[in-house]
């Protein structure tokens, strides 16, 4: 059995989460993998920002779609941080 090991900022240095390596996960597993609250994952699904499907009344999150969203989010945040730094260096941004 292949396992996916998750380590997020919300875990201590000794805590890890292990899930079977599959293409879908539950909302709870997705939240644990990203270190966010379940409500945040639900909002992503409600806004169709991450693909999912219903099975027996449960929403299953597409892990590839979740990963793509999270990587894009990290790129956007890095770009915004860079823009703020550039504005500070140019004296356009007040602290």
pLDDT, tens digit only, all 95 positions of the chain: 344 555 455 555 556 666 566 689 999 999 998 889 999 999 999 999 999 999 999 999 999 999 899 898 899 989 999 998 898 888 886 66
Mind giving me the DSSP string for the chain? --EEEE--TTS-TT--EEEE--SEEEHHHHHHHHT--HHHHHHHHHTTSS-EEEETTEEEEEHHHHHHHHHHHHHHHHHHHHHHHHHHHTT----
Domain 3-89 bears CATH identifier 1.10.1660: yes
Spatial separation of the C-alpha atoms in residues 48 and 43, rounded to whole Å:
8
pLDDT of 6: 52
pLDDT of 47: 96
Global pTM? 0.63
């Amino acid at each position: 059995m292949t396992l996916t090991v998750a380590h997020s900022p919300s875990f201590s240095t000794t805590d890890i989460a292990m899930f079977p390596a599959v293409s879908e996960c539950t909302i709870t597993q997705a939240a644990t993998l990203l270190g966010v609250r379940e409500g945040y994952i639900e909002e992503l699904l409600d806004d169709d920002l991450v693909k999912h499907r219903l099975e027996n009344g449960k929403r299953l999150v597409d892990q590839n779609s979740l990963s793509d969203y999270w990587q894009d989010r990290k790129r956007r945040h890095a770009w915004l941080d860079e823009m703020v730094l550039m504005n500070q260096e140019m004296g356009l941004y007040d602290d």
